[in-house]
Structure 1
Amino acid sequence: MIETGGLLSGKVVLITGASSGIGAAAASVFAREGAAVVLAARREERLAALTAELNGKGFDAAYVVTDLTRAQDVRRAVDFTLDRHGRLDGAFNNAGIGGDRTPLHQMEDDIYDSVIDTNVRGLWNCLRAEIAAMLSGGGGAIVNNSSVGGLVAIPAAAPYVASKHAVVGFTRAAADEYARQGIRVNSVAPGSTRSEITVDWYGRNPGLEEAIHEITPQGRTAAPEEIAEAAAWLLSDRASYVTGVVMPVDGGYVNH
């Protein structure tokens, strides 16, 4: 059934990495589309400010401080959502870090560990808790935030590329496993997007943004809201027959 009004009218959606960038944009986009949103991230000051801003506009927003690398934190965030709303209809697993842009043979163990722990273990923790809640509630939709780095190589970013390929793998595995139980699992794969990761990478690598623009057919960096809009559609009932998809939102980068 296609809902009337906003794409996400009446839905309860949990958003990770919601304190900045694509996650913060998703909180605003999803709320505007009618969802009650629960924001999860580590930085409480930012979460509190964004939640207050959304509630001040008449939306339904709440937050829970969450370290995704800790399974108990993720379960607490899901339990908070269930206690507040009685169900979990959707989840946008957006949180992730980029690490250093360093040749693979020079990459330090601590960079590998932090990227894999956040981007892979964090997603693993989220999927387990979210799917359990959705099974109890009769189904739902999940969108995982990968990257074009989950589809093609990015030079001097091997742990990040490996982690985002893992996001694609988890997406396809979960979609296949839970489709008959009413849970859809998809992924967005952003290209160059204005976020803390890209601002950091571009700041430490002069000329990198311009080089990426050269090989991106649209020739620009995306706004975070453009990624959030794609995720909103995948979470909505209008994508009811879509599961296991990895959707590039990249200005044509991987098609080039």
Structure 2
Amino acid sequence: MLNNGVPGNGLLHGKTALIYGAGGSIGGAVARAFAAEGAFVYLAGRTESRLEKVARDIQESGGRAETAVVDALDEEQVDAFVDRVARKNKRIDISFNLISFGDIQQPLMDIDVNDFTQPITLATRTHFITTRAAATQMIKQRSGVVLMFGGSGPQTLPGLGGFKVALDAMEGLRRQWALELGKHGIRVVTMVSGGIVETIPWQTEGREEIIVEIAKAAHLNRTATLSDVGNVACFVASDKAGAITDATVNISAGAIVDY
């Protein structure tokens, strides 16, 4: 049921939201949260079966969702997807890109140059393509929200390869988009989590040690959850957060120090 069974009363009631990477754990959590708050969510990704599962969950809960197989690195596919949604719904209110970066994490002295640059190129390319496509529609309506996920910070860890550099590059891209789109009433915001334990595959080598490190870095007696991501994303995307742009919303429980 929408918003605890109160149709039309959700934070995102009447909003049209695009979610790239919606078949993943984080993308799916955000999609379910958006739909529960009244948004019509369009789930984009490369694996149809995963998208359909999320869509079924949303629809069975009384929400509205449609799926589309889209490669978020392909400019033509993204533009066509956004155009289709805009023609059907007359507007695009939210665009959230949650695709993975394909990073290979190794010490810089050991990593191949192509493996190092891959996440940097992928992250900046996909966020440029999806943001520009959404902005083309949002400029016409003089409003909209673009969300990014990952964020950055002054600290790093050894052995991350190009992953942290990709996050830093996304911060720069967010600042540029926020500056250029702000005059059109479009907000651009990054969410940073410091790590979501639920997203670490069970078969990951050293999983328990990773979990311990994530928890150790947090200032609270907990770490961020998928539910936290969905809840905060709903608020940031809503009109109640209308003054927030060109900013990082930190849900890391203190693990990431703002600067």
Which TM-score applies when normalising by structure 2?
A: 0.89
Instruction: Please say if residues 22 and 195 of structure 1, whose CA atoms lie closer than 8 Å, have aligned partners that are also in contact.
Output: no
Match of 2:70 among 32, 51, 66: 66
Shift of 1:144: 0.9
RMSD of the TM alignment (CA)? 2.0
Q: 1:130 — aligned with what?
A: 134
Amino acid at match of 1:193: I
Q: 1:203 — aligned with what?
A: 204
Distance across 2 between alignment mates of 1:108 and 1:63: 36
**3-state DSSP of counterpart to 2:66:** strand
**3-state DSSP of counterpart to 1:158:** coil
Shift of 1:29: 0.2
Q: 1:217 — aligned with what?
A: 219
Question: Kindly tell me: are residues 209 and 114 of structure 1, through their superposed partners in 2, closer, same or farther at Cα, counting changes over 3 Å?
Answer: same
Distance across 2 between alignment mates of 1:93 and 1:154: 25
Are positions 1:238 and 2:226 aligned together? no
Kindly indicate which of the two structures has a greater share of residues assigned to helix: 1
Are positions 1:22 and 2:26 aligned together? yes
Distance across 2 between alignment mates of 1:157 and 1:163: 10
Question: Kindly tell me: are residues 45 and 89 of structure 1, through their superposed partners in 2, closer, same or farther at Cα, counting changes over 3 Å?
Answer: same
Distance across 2 between alignment mates of 1:164 and 1:24: 21
Instruction: Please say if residues 97 and 147 of structure 2, whose CA atoms lie closer than 8 Å, have aligned partners that are also in contact.
Output: yes
Distance across 1 between alignment mates of 2:22 and 2:60: 17
**3-state DSSP of counterpart to 2:43:** strand
Distance across 1 between alignment mates of 2:198 and 2:22: 12
Question: Kindly tell me: are residues 98 and 252 of structure 1, through their superposed partners in 2, closer, same or farther at Cα, counting changes over 3 Å?
Answer: farther
Distance across 2 between alignment mates of 1:137 and 1:12: 13
Distance across 2 between alignment mates of 1:221 and 1:77: 35
Distance across 2 between alignment mates of 1:231 and 1:212: 21
Amino acid at match of 1:241: A
Question: Kindly tell me: are residues 194 and 75 of structure 1, through their superposed partners in 2, closer, same or farther at Cα, counting changes over 3 Å?
Answer: farther
Listed one character per residue, the Cα deviations across residues 26-45 of structure 1 (whole Å, up to 9, x for unaligned) are 00000001100001111111
**Equivalent residues, number:** 250
Question: Kindly tell me: are residues 17 and 154 of structure 1, through their superposed partners in 2, closer, same or farther at Cα, counting changes over 3 Å?
Answer: farther
Q: 2:178 — aligned with what?
A: 175
Distance across 2 between alignment mates of 1:241 and 1:113: 35
Distance across 1 between alignment mates of 2:153 and 2:100: 13
Listed one character per residue, the Cα deviations across residues 107-151 of structure 1 (whole Å, up to 9, x for unaligned) are 12342343223322111111111111111233211111123x455
Are positions 1:90 and 2:90 aligned together? no
Distance across 1 between alignment mates of 2:117 and 2:171: 19
Distance across 2 between alignment mates of 1:126 and 1:108: 28
Are positions 1:80 and 2:84 aligned together? yes
Listed one character per residue, the Cα deviations across residues 156-197 of structure 1 (whole Å, up to 9, x for unaligned) are 11311111111111111111111121111111011111354x
Distance across 1 between alignment mates of 2:226 and 2:114: 28
Instruction: Please say if residues 118 and 162 of structure 2, whose CA atoms lie closer than 8 Å, have aligned partners that are also in contact.
Output: no
Instruction: Please say if residues 14 and 39 of structure 1, whose CA atoms lie closer than 8 Å, have aligned partners that are also in contact.
Output: yes
Q: Tell me, which stretches of 5 or more residues in structure 1 are unaligned?
A: none
Q: Tell me, which stretches of 5 or more residues in structure 2 are unaligned?
A: 1-7
Identical residues among aligned pairs (%): 27
Instruction: Please say if residues 188 and 245 of structure 2, whose CA atoms lie closer than 8 Å, have aligned partners that are also in contact.
Output: yes
Question: Kindly tell me: are residues 49 and 121 of structure 1, through their superposed partners in 2, closer, same or farther at Cα, counting changes over 3 Å?
Answer: same
**3-state DSSP of counterpart to 1:187:** strand
Higher relative CO (Cα under 8 Å, sequence separation at least 6) belongs to: 1
Amino acid at match of 2:22: A
Distance across 2 between alignment mates of 1:109 and 1:67: 24
Instruction: Please say if residues 41 and 47 of structure 1, whose CA atoms lie closer than 8 Å, have aligned partners that are also in contact.
Output: yes
Amino acid at match of 2:49: E
